Structure 1
Amino acid sequence: MGASLPHRVPSPDRTRAGSRGELDGTVGDAVALDHAVADLVRRTRFPVAFGGLAVDDEIRVTSIHGARTHNLQGLVVKASRGLGGRALVEKRPRLALDYRSSRSITHDYDRAVLGEGIATLFAVPVLVSGRARGVIYCGSWAESPVGDVVARPAFTVAEELSSELRIRDEVQRRLALSPVRAAADPMPAATREELRETYAELRSIAAVVDDPALRARLGRLEQRLATLSHDAADPPLELDVRLSPREVDVLACAALGSTNAEIAATLDLKEGTVKSYLQSAMAKLDASTRHAAVVTARRAGLLP
């Protein structure tokens, strides 16, 4: 489909996102979107990709990769208008094999799309809990067929972005239950348990994610949760201990009171494997019971 020139629109302000933490909803979601759009170019045969999140029934394009011009910058697509607007409302992928002559869409955005030189455009909605949260696009500068082999990677990228946004939404929701408090004030027990359940769910999801970059971002969310739930009145425990990712997964589930069988089902492991991980973690933490291991891991900041 051709080679792109090394032009791309600057991604969201990552410095600001990092300084405010990975749980900043707006910035964090935009960063997740930018990673997904970059993946579209890397994992599909399309040389140009762009996308935006839905705000007030509009798709506000904030990420563009592989473009040869600046025509797509600042693009705002209204619901039902253009290819992406239809994908947003219909909640299903839309394809314009020959965008210029397509009669199935409105042509409100020809100046941007045709100005970039796009001939074939493919729009995939990002669905989170049944709601369209945005649209990602891939395009080529020559008319190109789009079959299952070509479309499948785009669907995969959209599904991965959907999963990350869903996780971020849940973390934000649960954190919102905890009011800002003075450092000396204890976190309400119910809120702390909500955070711990979220942490365990994040660990179980991250365990089956293949993308290293996505796993790393999930890891930062986990660490943020662990930090937020730490009791400031309880001095941290300094430990020279390194638990394996699976040992942390198992301990996080054990912290919720799950049995070995329940942990095995959650993490898709054998019950004997779960027992082995627990025993290893207990030995590293010098704990005689799983409860003691959880308490030590929490004091050391290894668990929320």
Structure 2
Amino acid sequence: MGASLPQRAPNPDRTRAGVGSAVDALDGDAGDARALDHAVAELVRRTRFPVGFGGLAQGDTIYVTSIHGARTRRLEGLVVEASRGLGGRALVEKRPRLALDYRSSRSITHDYDRAVLGEGISTLFAVPVMVGNRARGVIYCGSWAESPVGDVVARPAFAVAEELSAELRIREEVQRRLTLSPAPAGQVTMPATTREELRETYAELRSIAAVVDDPALRARLDRLEKRLAALSHDATEPSLELDVRLSPREIDVLACAALGATNAEIASTLDLKEGTVKSYLQSAMAKLDASTRHAAVVTARRAGLLP
């Protein structure tokens, strides 16, 4: 992880205008902005570096919209171009970048000194947030004194970036489903292929949420799950009121079973033992008064527990 390459001097007017554009863009999907802000806060908490900031990419530009732990307002309005600065290089190269001593680094032109050194940052670490093969943004953590960046800092930083990546990827998929062309007038059922894709997305979302420890992130993922379930409701089929409550794991297992997965496949997906999967299925079937897993899935869907 080398230091950044030379940067262009940022235009102050363009910087402020860029932030306005970023805010306008993020207003259309405030959930992404909230996810980023949560990630930056977690970055500071887990790495114990005093200051963290980050931004999502709009085209080839990163607009910093989240800052935690800063002592000044110098980082506000920061706009990072592709290939410029640590973040710009991380965005293009799709890998972390490090400036151990930002002030004396010879590979940095110091065009961003007003923001970075104005905040008093000495060591700066930038990690790209990858969604598939795309870098959706960059998160940074910095120290006011020169600090080594070993596993104690790098591992939690990578973990935060991966968690944010997972949430952004899921949000993209949910938004894609929500923006599908509406059904023609008089058509009240969702096309079978679309519903099946949605169910696959829901099952994947459940499997990701199952291994997330952060309560706040789990809560946001739960809200996305409910949106998916509501989106797939078949208006032609009457809802079923049930006085039962399935555990999260029972729903996880049923969501996979709904896709035709075997117990072994479900166990592999959810990182469970095959016997444990069987136990969850039997428990869910008993609660739903179903004699087969297929009947349990049908009942759960009518009750709105599954998409």
Q: TM-score by structure 1 length?
A: 0.87
The amino acid across from 1:91 in the alignment is: K
Match of 2:44 in 1: 41
Distance in structure 2 (CA, Å) of the matches to 1:25 and 1:163: 20
- The secondary structure found in structure 2 opposite 1:101 is coil
**1:59 to 2:55 alignment:** no
**1:80 to 2:83 alignment:** yes
Match of 2:93 in 1: 90
Aligned length: 281
Give the Å deviation of 1:183: 8.8
Distance in structure 2 (CA, Å) of the matches to 1:88 and 1:131: 9
Change (3 A) 1:79 1:25: same
Q: TM-score by structure 2 length?
A: 0.86
Distance in structure 2 (CA, Å) of the matches to 1:182 and 1:107: 59
**1:220 to 2:223 alignment:** yes
Give the Å deviation of 1:123: 1.0
Alignment partner of 1:261 out of 261, 264, 280:
264
Distance in structure 2 (CA, Å) of the matches to 1:82 and 1:169: 28
Change (3 A) 1:182 1:50: farther
**1:129 to 2:152 alignment:** no
Change (3 A) 1:120 1:195: same
Match of 1:271 in 2: 274
For each residue in 1:60-83, what CA deviation from the matched residue of structure 2 results, as whole angstroms up to 9, or x when unmatched?
001000111111111111111122
Distance in structure 2 (CA, Å) of the matches to 1:120 and 1:303: 48
Distance in structure 1 (CA, Å) of the matches to 2:57 and 2:183: 29
Note if contact 1:204-1:267 (Cα within 8 Å) is conserved in structure 2.
yes
Match of 1:209 in 2: 212
Note if contact 1:241-1:284 (Cα within 8 Å) is conserved in structure 2.
yes
Distance in structure 2 (CA, Å) of the matches to 1:97 and 1:126: 21
Match of 1:17 in 2: none
The amino acid across from 1:284 in the alignment is: K
Distance in structure 1 (CA, Å) of the matches to 2:206 and 2:265: 15
Alignment partner of 2:290 out of 287, 292, 300:
287
- The secondary structure found in structure 1 opposite 2:117 is helix
Task: Within 5 Å, give how 1:175-186 maps onto structure 2.
Answer: 175-177=178-180, 179=182, 185-186=188-189
- The secondary structure found in structure 2 opposite 1:138 is strand
The amino acid across from 1:143 in the alignment is: E
Deviation beyond 4 Å, 4+ runs, structure 1? 180-184
Distance in structure 1 (CA, Å) of the matches to 2:228 and 2:216: 19
For each residue in 1:267-290, what CA deviation from the matched residue of structure 2 results, as whole angstroms up to 9, or x when unmatched?
222222222111111111111222
Distance in structure 2 (CA, Å) of the matches to 1:110 and 1:180: 54
- The secondary structure found in structure 1 opposite 2:277 is helix
| Structure 2 portions without partners, runs of 5+ | 1-26
Distance in structure 2 (CA, Å) of the matches to 1:260 and 1:160: 27
Note if contact 2:47-2:152 (Cα within 8 Å) is conserved in structure 1.
no
Distance in structure 2 (CA, Å) of the matches to 1:30 and 1:239: 37
